[in-house]
C-alpha cells in the first residue's frame, strides 16, 4: 500500500544492484519542509549518488537528452526533481524567472517571515496579555525596513539552498522560458531544444486581478508587492477574505494599519468549515481594527494620485448596482491565483486550457482537447488547479515520478492538510461539516462530530492562549475520519496527526489509545480521538478503512 | 432596578452556588406545562395565549446596588448551544466580584450581542435566547439590527502616528468616511458617526476624532487637538470634559478596573455629605493583654475591635443609622460592621453581620472566611453591601491617626491607628507609659451630632479599656 507520503526506498526494476548508498540507512533524507527536502538547508547528500546517475545513463533504452524534464523550478518542480534523482532519472529543470518560484520568493516563505513578526508584535502590544503573565513591556515598536529585510533575506537564503541542492544532486538547471514543442520535445530560452522521455509542466500561478482593478504596485498591490512591505498604510482595503487576505490582515493590523475586507460571497472566509470561520471571525476580526463588506464586488479600483486616496467602487454581487465608494490609503488584491500557462506551446500537442488550468486526470496525466491522455506529459501544482498549495504540488510531483519509474500511484487529495497562519492559526484536512453531511446523505452513512476546546488544554492555558477549537468529523460506524479542523495555537503543526491518519486510512479506534506527551498542545488532538464514539471495535492487527493507494 | 434586585435577593439566598439567574424581558408563560402536552384538546387554541414571541433577551443583571455597568468576562456557552434552565451561561465582572449568570429558561443561545471583554450597562441586552432551533435565525437577525456594542477594549496602536490633519478639515467631507476603528468606537460609545468632524487624511474620521467627540481621553499618547469637538450628542456627555494637564513624557495610563471605578464613584458621591470628625485616645493595655490570651484561639484584632464597636453601637443607635434621603433618620435594626480590606488591585469592605450579637470566636471565624472570599473575588453582594458602620485600620503600618472618608449610605466610619507606648502624666504629676491607640470617627452631621459621637466614643473607649465584656 502506497500512501501519499511514503518516501521509503523500495527496490524497483530500474535501480541497479550496486547502489547500496541509496538505502534507507543514509542520512535522513525524508525530512520535508514546505515541500523542500533537507538539502534545502544546505546539507548535501553523499557524493556517491552522482555515480548512480552515470550508471543509469548507460542503461537508458532510448536516446533522449533527459529522462525527465520539468518546466518550472518552483516547489512542485523541485520536489519532483529531487525524487526523480533519487530514483535515478537524469533530470533537467527549466526556469524562466527565479528558482523557487512563488513559494520561496513571493509566497510561503516571505509571508511566514512577516507573520512571525506580526505574531510577536501583537503579543508584545497586548498589555492585558503581558500583565497576566506578570510581565511589563515598554512600548514595542518596529522598523519597517528591518521587517522587510527579514522576509527578503529568508527568501534569498531558501532560494540559494534550493538551487544548490539541485545542482549538488546533478539536476541540470536550464535558464530560460520553457515551452512544449511536440511530444517529448521541449524548447527553452531563445532556441534551445531538448528531448525528454517524460515532461512535467509545473509553471505555477500568479495573483489574479479581476478586470476594473488597476494595480500600480504602490497603492493598489497584489501579494507579490505586499510581501516586500515597502510601506505600511494607515488604512488598507483587502479584496478577498480567503486565507491570503486573512493572513495579510493579521500582518497589517499587527503593524498598525486598519483593514476593510471586501468579499464577494455573503460570508467571510468562505472556504473554511462554517463553525471554524464563525469562531475565527470572533477572534481574528471582531476585536481588531477590521470591518468588512460582504456580498459586493470591487468593480473599479483606482490608485492614489494627485492628492486623492485610493478609490474603490463597490457593487452588489447579485444585482450589480452601486453600493458604496471607499476611500482608503491602499488596496490589496487577494482574489485568488490564476494559472500561469500562457506561451507553453500547448497548442502543439492539442491541449486546451480551461480557464487557464491544464486539464489532468487523477494521476496528473494531461488530457488533450479530444479527451484523450497525452502520453508522457504531466502537469502538477497550481497549473492544474486541483489543490493550489505548495505541498500538494510537491506531492503531485512525487506521484508522477513514482508512476514514471514504474509504480502506479494516485495521490489522495483528501489527506493533504492546509493551514492559514494567522494568530491563532487555522488548519484543516479532509471535508468540512457541510461537505461531509452531503456525502453522508448520498452514500447513506451517519456522520458524528467530536469537538474539544483549547481551554481544556494545560499547555494552551499556560501560554494564556486558551482560545481555540478542534473539531473532528467522522463515521461512527467504522471509525473513518472524514475531516479535522483546528483553530488555535500551533494548529498548523497539530493537524498532521490527523492528516497522517487519513492518508494511511487509520481508524479512530485504532489510534485512540496512543499516548501523547503531557503537557503538549497535541493533547487537543488526542482529546478529539478519545471523544469519538465508534461502534466497531479496535483491531488487534493494524487495519485500514480503505487502502489509500 | 427594583425588580432585578428582588430576583437578586431570592436567587442568592436560595442558591448555594455563587450564581445569579437573569430575568427575561418577556413575562413568563402562564402555564408552561401546557405547552408540553401533546393531546389535541379543545383547549389547544388557548395555547395561543401563551407567549408567542419566543425570543427572549438576556440582559446584564445588576449584581449590586451600586453596579451600573458590567463587563463580560467570558461566555460559557456559545452561539447555537442548547441551554437548560439553571445552567450557567456567562461570567460577568461587576464592580466587586465575578459572577456566574444562569439562565431561567430552556432554549438555545441564539445570539451573543455583547462579546467577551466588552461592557454593557445594567439592563442592556447581552444576548438572545431562542426557544427552538428554528428561531435562532430570527434571533440572529434581531441581534444584527440592534445597536450592539461590537468593540472591545481598544488596544493602543504602535508608534506610527497618523499624518498631520492638514487642510483636509477645511475641505469639508462630502460623505462620511470613517476608519474601521473609528466606526467600532462610535458604536461602542453611541456616537453618531455622521456628526463627527474628520481630521484624518482626506478628511476621514479617525478613532481619535470619535474619542474626542465622545469626550473620552484617548488611551494612547494624546493626538493633535481636534479642530471642533462640537456636535457631540447628549448621551455621550456622561464622560467628564474637564481639561487635564498634559501628560509627562514617561507617564503611562492604566484605566480603572470595575472595582476601582466603583471606589472612585463612591468617593465622589461622599463629597456631597457634610461630615465632621471626632478623635479619642483609647488606652489599650487591657485589650492587648486580652488579645495575647485569645490569639491562639484564632481571634484577630479586627474581630476584637469590630465586636467592641458593635457593642458600643448597640448603646448609641444613631451612630448606626444613616441619612438615605436627606430628610430622615434611617435606623438600622442590625449592627453590621464592615471592615475595610485592601486586596490586590483594590479595596473591599466585607461585612460582619450582627457584630454585637455574635461571640468573639464565631466572629473571628466568619472574618477569616470573608477575607478568603474577598481575596479570590468571590464575595456575594450581601456580604459587602449590607454594612451599617465601617471600621478601617491602618495601625499595621504604624499610622497613628488618619481620617477616613464616609462610605455612601452609612452614618459613621471609624479610623483606627496603631497602638503605641505613650508617656502619660496623671494629675499628681507622675509619669507612666501606657499603650495608646488614636481612634478617629468621621460621621454624617445630618444625623449624628457632636455630642452623640463623643458619647459613642466614650462608650467605645470604656469597652476597650474593660475588655472582659468582649468575651461574653
Between B301-315 and B450-465, two packed helices, what is the crossing angle to 10 degrees? 130
- Measured distance CA(B132)–CA(B107) in Å, rounded: 6
Helix (H, G, I), strand (E, B) or coil at B330: strand
Q: Are B389 and B400 in contact (CB under 8 A)?
A: no
Confidence tier at A62 by pLDDT (50, 70, 90): low
Q: Is A242 assigned to a binding site? A: yes
- Measured distance CA(B122)–CA(B381) in Å, rounded: 15
Between A523-531 and A491-504, two packed helices, what is the crossing angle to 10 degrees? 50
- Asked, as a colleague might, if the bond just before A519 is cis with ω within 30 of 0, I would say yes
State the pLDDT at residue B233.
Answer: 37
The residue in chain A having the minimum alpha-carbon distance to the alpha carbon of residue B250 is A138
Q: Is A244 assigned to a binding site? A: yes
Report yes or no: B255 at the A interface, CB cutoff 8 Å.
Answer: no
Q: Are B413 and B441 in contact (CB under 8 A)?
A: yes
Question: Which residue of A291, A311, A433 to mutate against B (max B Cβ within 10 Å)?
Answer: A291
Q: Which of B155, B204, B207 sits opposite A125 (nearest CB)?
A: B155
Q: What is the DSSP-derived secondary structure letter of residue B246?
A: P
Distance between A92 CA and the closest CA of chain B, angstroms: 49
What's the whole-number average pLDDT of chain A? 88
- Measured distance CA(A54)–CA(A390) in Å, rounded: 31
What is the CATH architecture assignment of A220-335?
3-Layer(bba) Sandwich (3.50)
Q: 3-class secondary structure for B334-345?
A: CCCEEECEEECC
Listing DSSP states for B168-179 in one string gives HHHH--SS--B-
Between A144-169 and A75-86, two packed helices, what is the crossing angle to 10 degrees? 30
Which residues have C-beta within 8 Å of that of residue B418, sequence separation ≥ 6? Answer: B394, B395, B396, B397, B398, B399, B400, B437
How remote is the C-alpha of A447 from its chain's centroid? 28
CB contact under 8 A, B158 and A290: no
Chain B residues touching A121 at Cβ < 8 A: 158
Q: Among residues of chain A, what percentage have pLDDT more than 90?
A: 81
Q: Are A279 and A487 in contact (CB under 8 A)?
A: yes
Closest CA to A245 of A266, A268, A213, A225: A268
The residue in chain A having the minimum alpha-carbon distance to the alpha carbon of residue B173 is A327
Chain A residues touching B168 at Cβ < 8 A: none
Q: Are A460 and A468 in contact (CB under 8 A)?
A: yes
Q: Which residues of B are catalytic?
A: 445
- Measured distance CA(A522)–CA(A493) in Å, rounded: 9
Q: Which of residues 393-432 of B touch A (CB under 8 A)?
A: none
Closest CA to B20 of B68, B74, B71, B59: B59
Q: Quote the ipTM score.
A: 0.75
- Asked, as a colleague might, if the bond just before A424 is cis with ω within 30 of 0, I would say yes
Q: Are strands B125-130 and A220-222 parallel, antiparallel or unpaired?
A: unpaired
For chain A, residues classed under CATH 3.30.390.30 are 414-531
Between B285-294 and B301-315, two packed helices, what is the crossing angle to 10 degrees? 120
Residue A18 reports pLDDT greater than 60: no
For chain A, residues classed under CATH 3.50.50.60 are 66-207+338-411, 220-335
Q: How far is CA B226 from CA A419, A472, B175, in A?
A: 44, 52, 19
State the pLDDT at residue B374.
Answer: 86
Distance between A287 CA and the closest CA of chain B, angstroms: 6
Choices 3.40.50.12280, 3.60.20.10, 3.40.309.10, 3.50.50.60: CATH for A66-207+338-411? 3.50.50.60
Q: Is A243 assigned to a binding site? A: yes
Reported as type and span, the H/E element at residue B253 is none
Question: First vs last Cα of chain A: how many Å apart?
Answer: 6
Chain B residues touching A127 at Cβ < 8 A: 155-156
Q: How far is CA A23 from CA A27, A47, A87, A90, in A?
A: 9, 14, 11, 19
- Measured distance CA(A198)–CA(A75) in Å, rounded: 19
Confidence tier at A139 by pLDDT (50, 70, 90): confident
Residues A209-257: pLDDT tens digits? 999 999 999 999 999 999 999 999 999 999 999 999 999 999 999 999 9
Cα dihedral: B36, B40, B41, B42 (round 10): 120
State the pLDDT at residue B174.
Answer: 56
> C-alpha angle with apex B233: B228 to B238, nearest 5 degrees?
100
Q: Which of B117, B181, B200 sits opposite A289 (nearest CB)?
A: B181
Chain B residues touching A287 at Cβ < 8 A: 115, 117, 152
CB contact under 8 A, A141 and B159: yes
Cα dihedral: A109, A114, A116, A117 (round 10): 150
Q: Which of A255, A287, A329 sits opposite B152 (nearest CB)?
A: A287
CB atoms within 10 A of CB A138: 8
Residue A549 reports pLDDT greater than 70: no
pTM (2 decimals)?
Answer: 0.58
CB contact under 8 A, B201 and A309: yes
- Measured distance CA(B41)–CA(B324) in Å, rounded: 56
How remote is the C-alpha of B347 from its chain's centroid? 11
A–B interface: beta-carbon pairs under 8 A: 61
Is the alpha carbon torsion for A187, A188, A191, A196 positive or negative? Answer: negative
Closest CA to A39 of A168, A170, A173, A172: A168
Among the ranges given (A64-73, A183-192, B139-148), the one the predictor scored with the smallest mean pLDDT: B139-148
Chain B residues touching A256 at Cβ < 8 A: 157-158, 160
The residue in chain B having the minimum alpha-carbon distance to the alpha carbon of residue A124 is B158
Residues B412-459: pLDDT tens digits? 999 999 999 999 998 999 999 999 999 999 999 999 999 999 999 999
Report yes or no: B180 at the A interface, CB cutoff 8 Å.
Answer: yes
CB contact under 8 A, A256 and B157: yes
- Measured distance CA(A260)–CA(B243) in Å, rounded: 34
- Measured distance CA(B194)–CA(B201) in Å, rounded: 17
Q: Which of A139, A232, A327 sits opposite B204 (nearest CB)?
A: A327
- Give bridge partners of residue B90 from the DSSP assignment: B75, B101
Q: One digit per residue, pLDDT tens: chain B, 472 residues?
A: 444 444 333 434 444 444 444 444 444 444 444 444 344 444 444 444 444 556 777 888 877 766 777 788 878 777 778 888 777 788 887 666 677 787 877 888 888 888 887 888 888 888 888 877 777 777 777 766 654 443 333 333 333 333 333 333 344 445 788 999 999 998 888 888 888 888 888 888 999 889 888 877 665 533 323 333 333 333 333 334 445 666 677 778 888 887 888 888 889 988 989 999 999 999 999 999 999 998 888 888 889 999 999 999 999 999 999 988 888 899 999 999 999 988 877 888 999 999 988 888 899 999 999 988 888 878 888 888 889 999 999 988 999 999 999 998 899 999 999 999 999 998 999 999 999 999 999 999 999 999 999 999 999 999 999 988 888 6
Report yes or no: B285 at the A interface, CB cutoff 8 Å.
Answer: no
Q: What is the mean pLDDT of residues A91-119?
A: 95
Report yes or no: B368 at the A interface, CB cutoff 8 Å.
Answer: no
Between A108-125 and A243-254, two packed helices, what is the crossing angle to 10 degrees? 40
Q: Which of B117, B150, B179 sits opposite A258 (nearest CB)?
A: B179
Chain B residues touching A255 at Cβ < 8 A: 158, 160
Which residues have C-beta within 8 Å of that of residue A248, sequence separation ≥ 6? Answer: A111, A223, A226, A238, A332, A334
Helix (H, G, I), strand (E, B) or coil at A305: strand
Residues in chain B, overall count:
472
Tell me if the domain spanning A414-531 has CATH number 3.30.390.30: yes
Is the alpha carbon torsion for B298, B301, B303, B307 positive or negative? Answer: positive
CB contact under 8 A, A291 and B201: no
Amino acid at each position: 500500500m502506497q500512501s501519499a507520503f511514503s518516501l521509503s526506498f523500495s527496490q524497483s526494476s530500474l535501480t541497479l544492484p550496486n547502489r547500496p548508498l541509496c538505502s534507507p540507512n543514509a542520512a535522513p533524507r525524508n525530512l520535508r519542509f514546505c515541500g523542500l527536502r533537507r538539502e534545502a538547508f544546505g546539507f548535501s547528500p553523499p557524493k556517491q549518488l552522482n555515480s548512480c546517475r552515470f550508471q543509469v545513463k548507460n542503461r537508458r533504452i532510448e536516446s533522449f537528452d533527459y529522462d525527465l524534464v520539468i518546466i518550472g523550478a518552483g516547489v512542485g518542480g523541485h520536489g519532483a526533481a529531487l525524487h526523480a534523482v533519487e530514483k535515478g532519472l537524469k533530470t533537467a529543470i527549466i526556469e524562466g524567472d527565479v528558482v523557487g518560484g512563488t513559494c520561496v520568493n513571493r509566497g510561503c516563505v516571505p509571508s511566514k517571515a512577516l507573520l512571525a513578526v506580526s505574531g510577536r508584535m501583537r503579543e508584545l502590544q497586548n498589555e492585558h496579555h503581558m500583565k497576566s503573565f506578570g510581565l511589563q513591556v515598554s512600548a514595542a515598536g518596529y522598523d519597517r525596513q528591518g521587517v522587510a529585510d527579514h522576509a527578503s533575506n529568508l527568501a534569498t537564503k531558501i532560494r540559494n539552498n534550493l538551487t544548490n541542492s539541485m545542482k549538488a544532486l546533478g539536476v541540470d538547471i536550464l535558464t530560460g522560458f520553457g515551452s512544449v514543442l511536440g511530444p517529448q520535445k521541449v524548447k527553452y530560452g531563445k532556441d534551445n531544444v531538448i528531448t525528454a522521455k517524460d515532461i512535467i509542466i509545473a509553471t505555477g500561478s500568479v495573483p489574479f486581478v479581476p478586470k476594473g482593478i488597476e494595480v500600480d504596485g504602490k497603492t493598489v498591490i497584489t501579494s507579490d508587492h505586499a510581501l516586500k512591505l515597502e510601506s505600511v498604510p494607515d488604512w488598507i482595503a483587502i479584496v478577498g477574505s480567503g486565507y491570503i487576505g486573512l493572513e495579510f490582515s493579521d500582518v497589517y493590523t499587527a503593524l498598525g494599519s486598519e483593514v476593510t475586507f471586501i468579499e464577494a460571497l455573503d460570508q467571510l472566509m468562505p472556504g473554511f468549515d462554517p463553525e471554524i470561520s464563525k469562531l475565527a471571525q470572533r477572534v481574528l476580526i471582531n476585536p481588531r481594527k477590521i470591518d468588512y463588506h460582504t456580498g459586493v464586488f470591487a468593480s473599479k479600483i483606482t490608485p492614489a494620485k494627485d492628492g486623492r486616496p485610493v478609490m474603490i467602487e463597490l457593487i452588489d454581487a447579485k444585482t450589480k448596482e452601486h453600493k458604496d465608494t471607499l476611500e482608503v490609503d491602499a488596496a490589496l488584491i487577494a482574489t485568488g491565483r490564476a494559472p500561469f500557462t500562457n506561451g507553453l506551446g500547448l497548442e502543439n500537442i492539442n491541449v486546451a486550457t480551461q480557464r487557464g488550468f491544464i486539464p489532468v486526470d487523477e494521476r496528473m496525466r494531461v488530457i488533450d482537447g479530444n479527451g484523450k491522455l497525452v502520453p508522457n506529459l504531466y502537469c502538477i501544482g497550481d497549473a492544474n488547479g486541483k489543490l493550489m498549495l505548495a505541498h500538494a504540488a510537491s506531492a503531485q510531483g512525487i506521484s508522477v515520478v513514482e508512476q514514471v519509474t514504474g509504480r502506479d500511484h494516485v495521490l489522495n487529495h483528501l489527506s493533504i492538510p492546509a493551514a492559514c497562519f494567522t494568530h491563532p492559526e487555522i488548519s484543516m484536512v479532509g471535508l468540512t461539516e457541510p461537505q461531509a453531511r452531503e456525502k453522508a446523505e448520498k452514500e447513506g452513512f451517519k456522520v458524528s462530530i467530536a469537538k474539544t476546546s483549547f481551554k481544556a488544554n494545560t499547555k494552551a492555558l499556560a501560554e494564556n492562549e486558551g482560545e481555540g477549537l478542534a473539531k473532528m468529523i467522522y463515521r461512527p460506524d467504522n471509525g473513518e475520519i472524514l475531516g479535522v479542523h483546528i483553530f488555535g495555537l500551533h494548529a498548523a503543526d497539530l493537524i498532521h496527526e490527523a492528516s497522517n491518519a487519513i492518508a494511511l486510512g487509520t481508524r479512530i479506534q485504532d489510534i485512540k489509545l496512543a499516548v501523547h506527551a503531557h503537557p503538549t498542545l497535541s493533547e487537543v488532538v488526542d482529546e478529539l480521538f478519545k471523544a469519538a464514539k465508534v461502534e466497531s471495535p479496535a483491531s488487534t492487527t493494524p487495519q485500514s478503512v480503505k487502502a489509500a493507494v | 432596578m427594583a425588580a432585578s434586585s428582588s430576583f437578586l435577593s431570592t436567587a442568592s439566598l436560595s442558591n448555594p452556588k455563587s450564581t445569579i439567574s437573569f430575568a427575561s424581558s418577556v413575562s413568563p408563560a402562564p402555564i408552561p406545562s401546557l405547552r408540553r402536552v401533546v393531546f389535541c384538546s379543545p383547549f389547544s387554541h388557548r395555547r395561543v395565549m401563551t407567549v408567542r414571541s419566543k425570543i427572549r433577551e438576556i440582559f446584564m443583571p445588576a449584581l449590586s446596588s451600586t453596579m451600573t455597568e458590567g463587563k463580560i468576562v467570558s461566555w460559557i456557552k456559545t452561539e447555537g448551544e442548547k441551554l437548560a434552565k439553571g445552567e450557567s451561561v456567562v461570567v460577568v465582572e461587576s464592580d466587586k466580584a465575578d459572577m456566574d449568570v444562569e439562565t431561567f429558561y430552556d432554549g438555545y443561545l441564539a445570539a451573543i450581542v455583547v462579546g467577551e471583554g466588552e461592557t454593557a450597562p445594567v439592563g442592556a441586552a447581552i444576548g438572545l435566547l431562542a426557544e427552538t432551533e428554528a428561531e435562532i435565525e430570527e434571533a440572529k437577525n434581531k441581534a444584527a439590527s440592534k445597536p450592539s456594542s461590537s468593540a472591545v477594549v481598544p488596544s493602543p496602536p504602535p508608534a506610527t502616528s497618523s499624518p498631520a490633519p492638514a487642510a483636509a478639515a477645511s475641505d469639508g467631507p462630502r460623505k462620511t468616511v470613517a476608519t474601521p476603528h473609528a466606526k467600532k468606537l462610535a458604536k461602542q460609545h453611541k456616537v453618531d458617526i455622521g456628526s463627527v468632524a474628520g481630521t484624518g487624511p482626506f478628511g476621514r474620521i479617525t478613532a481619535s476624532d470619535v474619542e474626542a467627540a465622545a469626550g473620552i481621553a484617548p488611551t494612547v499618547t494624546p493626538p493633535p487637538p481636534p479642530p471642533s469637538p462640537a456636535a457631540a450628542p447628549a448621551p455621550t456627555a456622561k464622560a467628564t470634559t474637564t481639561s487635564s494637564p498634559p501628560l509627562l513624557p514617561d507617564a503611562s495610563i492604566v484605566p480603572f478596573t470595575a472595582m476601582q471605578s466603583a471606589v472612585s464613584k463612591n468617593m465622589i458621591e461622599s463629597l456631597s455629605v457634610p461630615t465632621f470628625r471626632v478623635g479619642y485616645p483609647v488606652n489599650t493595655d487591657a485589650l492587648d493583654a486580652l488579645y495575647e490570651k485569645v490569639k491562639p484561639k484564632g481571634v484577630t484584632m479586627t474581630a476584637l475591635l469590630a465586636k467592641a464597636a458593635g457593642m458600643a453601637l448597640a448603646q448609641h443607635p444613631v451612630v448606626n443609622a444613616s441619612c438615605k434621603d436627606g430628610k430622615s433618620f434611617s435606623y438600622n435594626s442590625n449592627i453590621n460592621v464592615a471592615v475595610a480590606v485592601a486586596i490586590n488591585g483594590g479595596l473591599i469592605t466585607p461585612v460582619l453581620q450582627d457584630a454585637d450579637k455574635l461571640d468573639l470566636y464565631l466572629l473571628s471565624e466568619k472574618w477569616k472566611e470573608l477575607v478568603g472570599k474577598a481575596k479570590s473575588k468571590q464575595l456575594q453582594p450581601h456580604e459587602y453591601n449590607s454594612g451599617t458602620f465601617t471600621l478601617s485600620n491602618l495601625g499595621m503600618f504604624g499610622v497613628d491617626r488618619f481620617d477616613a472618608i464616609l462610605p455612601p449610605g452609612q452614618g459613621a466610619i471609624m479610623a483606627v491607628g496603631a497602638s503605641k507606648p505613650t508617656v502619660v502624666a496623671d494629675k499628681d504629676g507622675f509619669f507612666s507609659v501606657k499603650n495608646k491607640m488614636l481612634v478617629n470617627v468621621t460621621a454624617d452631621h445630618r444625623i449624628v451630632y457632636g455630642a452623640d459621637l463623643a458619647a459613642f466614643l466614650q462608650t467605645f473607649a470604656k469597652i476597650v479599656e474593660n475588655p472582659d465584656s468582649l468575651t461574653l
